[in-house]
Structure 1
């Protein structure tokens, strides 16, 4: 019989073992190997069965075993030492504290998903794993950050594959009492509750769960409480589930409810209120409207409150395609953005934030990314190439500006090495290189011989092979009512065969089945008698994406052929637990998206952290770090006539590389059977590439390039009773009103008859300021190489200064103003210039910020 409800009964831990409960309650165990070894020692078999989850382990271990350990002085001492280490980690000054920086005081980091550990399945893919790694690195660096998200009752989904290869989804219900979570409570013990006013006098209530991610608190809002109706209890039922209205309610809860929850959390814990709010994608964009509403309640206008909010807001975009952005029906958004939900916020002002450039404001879909960019004074993409793509994709928000001036920077994603580095590699570094810091160990040291290194890499590959066989056997039993799996399942994969990994979400642009373009050629590569290759593949398609499911089906059916099923396997239900063994066990990591649609693609980073070489299209992070020692580049067929031709050409390049470069190098062995040149490249990857891929590097960049400048800007605009915000709002209104009349009337040049390098070009520009003053604007010459009439390349900008008289030649102060300056011709070749006018104010961080420019005709 099926239970009508499940819950977790926690074990009574003997007093001498109280340290275990404290260690289990902090998710630092998910990346701290010594703590994991402690819990494994309690019961190694149960540790594996619990999927290395201390909370689950303590819930299942026999009381007799706990009593035995409680009387073991050595174990008790070990547990107490690990607890002391945790407390020291939580309290000691770290990198951020060494900066002596007054700001930021607290960064509130909002994300719809967080991938911390498989034991807390609140993630679907790269966005959530990145968010989890961000929190972990912030903890290690001592950055004062608090995470804000939702608690999904069923997480994402569990995947199974039918006999014909079709993906099926299940949604196992999670019991928060059985997870490393605690409820946020008032001093009197009552649960904290966040409430959102809904249309028709309804209310949405949410409790707040907290998880300790090292030093970082993670707040997660949960609507499955009796105070809600049955329909509203399901708002946080599953990640990315339901239709438009369900998704909108989730994002209102994340943004509005999350902002209220983090404010309450600060009040209850005595922490500073956030001075920086970071939106990890547009899902949390409504937090900006909640903050505006709060400031309006303090006496500011919408425009003034917007300046305060923008100053301290950071927005990170992760999508390289418009289809990946959340858009909601305008009428639906209009129904929910009421004055009851957001007191003081005029509906028209709120809706205007989400109108797409050039669209009809009365009918335009409400675009969450567009709103996020309008609410944030600082924004970034997640790799250099993605930054370029984002500046092009969102450039219409800043019309008239060249792409390189669009105010979207880039910070390339990183991965948290302590989480993703295999324990075997860590042990090798500790025993032979004298450090547990695998990112910065001297992997080229003679202290580790090639043979020793290769033996460790083989053990990691064997670990993957055994895990793959176990998972396939379990999947067979689940699919066939407990029947024993066929004998061939126990022989899939080989720990001594070149192993290629491919695991990620399965949207079409990631091209799961590019490898199947020429099935016979792939079959020959897989079954080569002298240089065989094996593939381990995993990934989930969104439940509503039938095309993605068809790709999985096609691959599964190919892999089910008797002559191939031991050389290519699809592992169902990809999650963090699988990933922790998959990355280390692979020799090569394959990534073949349609360039430039991979925003970053951190899976290849995790593989590199474990001594795998990359085989990838030059996209995302790989476009920055590709090198001969780190792997191989699959050439992009950008000149192909259509998508089919492109796929065929790029697949052919993939086959050529696998056959003639990758496999050849892998099977070149010395007298001891060690592929010395391969090992040299792996050592180079670990020693030179891996340090650049760490999440600590990424978070340092966020602090130095975005968080600190944002916090300092927030302080400036809020100083002296919000004087800066009021002044900047007044300036924006005045400039926008005048701008239609601003124009460059006439430009004169002289001083150069036959131009040579070193000559000086003198400019005189007559500019109608439309009632503005020279202090309100910058008049500048934009100049550089110009091979065509369309654009100036590698543009430089030289300010022009107003004439001494401050009037035009006729002496009329109301007429065009004269601005003068000169340009030194510093290089030969085609040259072009123009003159433009842009707004200027000490509280603007970019000339393009207001999206206003007047250029000479």
Structure 2
């Protein structure tokens, strides 16, 4: 008979084991080996069967075993040390607290008091399955690294009752989705409660007088609280209860409600949390992708309630907002019908004090090719954030091109979208065996610090110490990790075939799948078409030769999920799995269903080579290869995402691309697959199997060593979060403090005046005279520019000269704008004169031009307003002159 209600009865721990509850309640255990060892020691088999989840473990371990552990003096002593270590970790000074802000104050007066970090998904641990892929794992690593560094972050997301789907395969290799129900009472989370003990509630007004209510669950990620909103509340109608049912599920309105709850409800949850706990209110709000963009509207509405007008509130909110885009293609951006958005805002729904027209304008696609009836969440994120970034150097450039239409008149390289390359949280992703080898070399504490905080690449002796590890120890480590992967792959493959309907009697061959002494390649990620899961199948005969080579065989482990609505991705999985089912190759290449964090933590360390072959430049970053690298795995990848900026032949290989405009998609795949086969056959496999005088693959081991010493410090999430603090959070906090209601009103009024007067701003004439008869290196041009400013004043603008080398189309590269100086009042025709020198500091084709930009001390960048005035063709003979 089915129970009408399910709940977990928590055990009563013996007094000496009481601290176990404290350790289980803080997700630091997910990346802290000594804490995990305590739970493992209670019952190793139960630890594995409980999914390595301390909450489930403590709910299932027998009272007799708990009593036995309570009498074990050694165990209790280790437990006391672990809980003392946790308490010191969450309260002691770390990098953020010790940062000396330019020598003025040890606490750093420019550091934000708190940062709110919003994301639709967070991958913290497999025990809290609230993630689907790279975006969520990145968000989880961001929180963990912020905790390690002591950054006062508050994470904000949604709690999905079904999480993301579990994947299996049908007999004919078609992806099957399963959505197990998650009970928050069985998860490592707690309900945020009011002072009287009742659950805290946030609510949103919906059209027709309805209301969307949500509880707030809190997970403690080291020092960082993660707040997750849950709409499965009894007071809600059935439709509203299902808003947080599935990650990325439902239709357009369902997604809109999820994103309204995340952004608007998330801000309200943060306010509630700070009120109840005394946590400092955030000065900076960081939206991780456009899904959480409505948080800016809620903050504008907070000011509107205080009678602040929309334009002033917009400037105040923008100042402290950071927006990170992860999407290299327009199709990956959330876009809603404008009428749907309009229906959910205004007097009869949410944010009644903001005019709906103002809201719609924030998401309007005004760039060329934009659709007038679409509300674009990324566009709104850029307009509501004074600072924005992509997640690798290449992705930053792609993003500037993609969104350049929002800043008309500016070249793409001047679009105000910066780059901070993603990193990964090494303590989460480094295998215990790798950690122990490092601890043996430099000590446990120094190893922990090197992995969590890190240092400058090439200048950190903790990472350089890898150079002293013996070749034999590195090779034995790699063999151990490979053997563990082989064991895990066989176990998962057996389980998958049983789910597909196979009988045990026909699965004996699985015991011979993979070989711990064979070169092992890993490929695991989501399965959209641009990641090209099946590129390796382009020439199946050649792939078979590689897999079955008599002297230098290769084996491949593949995993990945297609979105439930992506039949194209499912067909790719089916095609690959059918190939892996072929008896001729099934011992050499396997597909493992249900890719997730638990699998990844075995897969990354166990591979020798990590393969990535997306269509360049459609991979924003691609952090899986970083996690593999931290375990001594070499990368074999297209030069895309992070590999484009950090690739070196010393620690990996670059797959040549055929991305010229004249190459069609089919031909491109053919050429790049051939390049992949060539690399594997001629360079990768020979190096792996080539033995030196001592019987070891010396050159391969050296590549592993260089991967760890030179690439390792770069790929750390600690490095990434430090960059966010220094490049984005500190400037945003500074701007937030400066732009109070008065300053924000001043800036809003100035922008309105500049926009109104800009049509009458023009470059009227440009003259140049040289110090010599010819343009020689070291000569100087004297520039004289006459401009018209209309109703604007010289204080409202900056007149600049831009100079540098020019390409065959006369485009100036590597521009460094130099301001010109006003020489006095207007002439008889109302024109102002600006002058300045221009040094000819490089040889070759050279050119210059001039322009006028709005200028104000409170602007985040000169391109912020998207306004620029440049010379017309008739401005003067010397305007834009080219010299060769």
TM-score w.r.t. the length of structure 2 is: 0.94
Q: CA distance change for structure 1 residues 3 and 551 in 2, over 3 Å: closer, same or farther?
A: farther
1:528 aligns with 2:549: yes
Number of aligned pairs? 849
Q: Secondary structure at the match of 2:768?
A: strand
2:786 to 766, 787, 811: 766
Alignment of 1:280 with 2:288, yes or no, is yes
Offset of residue 786 of structure 1: 2.2
Counting only pairs closer than 5 Å after superposition, residues 529-568 of structure 1 correspond to structure 2 as 529-568=550-589
Pairwise CA distance, 1:194: 0.3
Match of 1:836 in 2: 851
State the distance in 2 between where 1:739 and 1:378 align: 24
CA contact (8 A) 2:346 2:353 kept: no
* Residue 15 (structure 2) aligns with: 15
| Matches of 1:444 and 1:661, distance apart in 2 | 28
Give the Cα–Cα distance (whole angstroms) in 1 for the partners of residues 80 and 439 of structure 2.
22
**1:848 partner SS:** coil
Instruction: Quote how far apart the aligned CAs of 1:790 are.
Output: 4.7
SS at match of 1:366: strand
| Structure 1 residues 203 and 818: CA distance shift in structure 2, 3 A | same
Paired position in structure 1 for 2:345: 337
**Corresponding residue for 2:674?**
652
Is the CA contact 1:433–1:442 (under 8 Å) kept in the aligned structure 2? no
CA distance in 2 between counterparts of 1:360 and 1:512 reads 31
Offset, 1:673: 4.0
- Distance, in Å, in 2 between the alignment partners of 1:432 and 1:699 is 27
CA drift of 1:674 comes to 2.1
Alignment equivalent of 1:612, drawn from 610, 621, 633: 633
Look up the SS of the partner of 2:482 in the other structure. helix
Superposed CA deviations along residues 702-729 of structure 1, whole A, max 9, x for unmatched, are 00000011001100012xxx22101100
Structure 1, unaligned runs of 5 or more: none
SS in 2 for 1:241: coil
2:702 corresponds to? 680
**2:266 corresponds to which residue?**
258
Q: Is the 8 A contact 1:199 1:338 kept in 2?
A: no
* Partner residue in 2 for 1:796: 816
In the alignment, which of 781, 804, 812 is matched to residue 784 of structure 1?
804
Residues 672/53 of structure 1: CA separation in 2 closer, same or farther (3 Å cut): farther
Question: Which residue pairs with 1:154 in the alignment?
Answer: 162
Specify the SS of the correspondent of 1:793.
coil
| Residue 822 (structure 1) aligns with | 837
> Any idea what SS the aligned residue of 1:101 has?
coil
Partner of 2:434: 425
**Is residue 300 of structure 2 the alignment partner of residue 292 of structure 1?**
yes
Q: Which deviates the most, 513-522 or 756-765?
A: 756-765
Between the aligned partners of 2:4 and 2:671, the Cα distance in structure 1 is: 55
Q: 2:485 aligns with which of 458, 464, 467?
A: 464
Aligned pairs for 1:269-418 within 5 A: 269-339=277-347, 340-358=349-367, 363-418=372-427
What is the rounded CA distance, in whole Å, between the counterparts of 1:378 and 1:579 in structure 2? 33
TM-superposed CA distance for 1:481, in Å, is 8.2
* CA distance in 1 between partners of 2:67 and 2:369 (Å): 70
SS at match of 2:556: strand
Secondary structure (helix, strand or coil) at the match of 1:855 reads coil
The answer to whether 1:201 aligns with 2:209 is: yes
The question of 1:601 aligning with 2:622 is answered yes
Shift of 1:641: 1.9
Q: Which whole-Å CA distance do the structure 2 matches of 1:132 and 1:803 have between them?
A: 55
Q: Is the 8 A contact 1:118 1:575 kept in 2?
A: yes
Output the CA distance in 2 between the equivalents of 1:359 and 1:629: 43
Question: What corresponds to 1:496 in structure 2?
Answer: 517
Q: Deviations over 1:584-643 (max 9, x none)?
A: 000000000000000000000000000000000001000111111211010111235201
TM-score (norm 1): 0.97
For residues 621-677 of structure 1, the C-alpha deviation after alignment (integer angstroms, 9 at most, x for no partner) is 001111112110101112352011111111001001111101000001246542121
Structure 2 CA distance, aligned partners of 1:94 and 1:846?
32
Gapped regions of structure 2 (runs ≥ 5)? 100-106, 452-459, 873-884
Q: 2:534 is matched with which residue: 508, 513, 526?
A: 513
Q: Could you tell me which of 114, 117, 125 is aligned with 2:125?
A: 117
User: Cα distance, 1:455 vs. partner?
Assistant: 1.2
2:787 alignment partner, SS class: strand
Q: Deviations over 1:112-164 (max 9, x none)?
A: 00000000000000000000000000000000000000000000100001121
Out of 720, 735, 739, the residue aligned to residue 758 of structure 2 is 739
SS of 1:794 mapped into structure 2: coil
Question: Does the 8 Å CA contact 2:463/2:713 hold for their aligned counterparts?
Answer: no
Which one of the candidate residues 580, 588, 606 is aligned to 2:609? Answer: 588
Is the 2:798–2:852 Cα contact (8 Å) retained in structure 1? yes
SS of 1:231's equivalent in the other structure is helix
CA contact (8 A) 2:391 2:422 kept: yes
Which residue number corresponds to residue 709 of structure 1?
731
2:875 matched residue in structure 1: none
Residue 688 of structure 2: aligned partner:
666
Q: Which position in structure 1 is the counterpart of 2:45?
A: 45
Give how far 1:750 is off: 2.1
Distance 1:687 1:159 in 2: 37
In the TM superposition, residue 788 of structure 1 has moved relative to its aligned partner by: 3.8
SS in 2 for 1:544: coil
Counterpart-to-counterpart distance in 2, 1:346 and 1:65: 63
Cα deviation code 1:281-326 (max 9, x no counterpart):
0000000000000011112110000001100000000010000000
Q: Distance in 1 between matches of 2:188 and 2:145?
A: 19
Give yes or no for contact 2:442–2:465 (8 Å, CA) kept in 1: no
Task: Give matches, 1:136-175, under 5 Å.
Answer: 136-175=144-183
* C-alpha contact (below 8 Å) 2:466/2:709 kept by paired residues: no
- In the TM superposition, residue 358 of structure 1 has moved relative to its aligned partner by 3.6
Q: Please report how far the alpha carbon of residue 11 of structure 1 lies from its aligned counterpart in structure 2 after TM superposition.
A: 2.0
Deviation at residue 473 of structure 1 after TM alignment: 1.5
Give how far 1:206 is off.
Answer: 0.2
Shift in Å at residue 78 of structure 1?
1.4
TM-superposed deviation, 1:453 = 1.8
Q: Secondary structure at the match of 1:343?
A: coil
Instruction: Work out the CA distance in 1 between the residues paired with 2:371 and 2:726.
Output: 40
SS at match of 1:308: helix
Q: How many angstroms does 1:165 deviate by?
A: 1.2
Indicate whether 1:84 and 2:84 are aligned. Answer: yes
Q: Secondary structure at the match of 1:392?
A: helix
The separation in 1 between residues aligned to 2:224 and 2:808, in whole angstroms, is 53
Q: Which stretch shows the higher mean deviation, 527-536 or 741-750?
A: 741-750
| Residue number in structure 2 paired with 1:486 | 507
1:849 aligns to 2:849 (yes or no): no
**Judging changes above 3 Å, is the alpha-carbon distance between structure 1 residues 88 and 789 closer, same or farther for their aligned structure 2 residues?**
same
Aligned to 1:101: 108
State the Cα distance separating 1:825 from its structure 2 match.
1.4
**1:445 Cα deviation from its structure 2 partner:** 5.2
Q: 1:153 to 1:115 in 2, by over 3 A?
A: same
Q: What CA distance in whole angstroms lies between the structure 1 residues aligned with 2:695 and 2:170?
A: 41
Q: How many angstroms does 1:478 deviate by?
A: 2.8
Partners of 1:268 and 1:117 in 2: how far apart?
Answer: 27
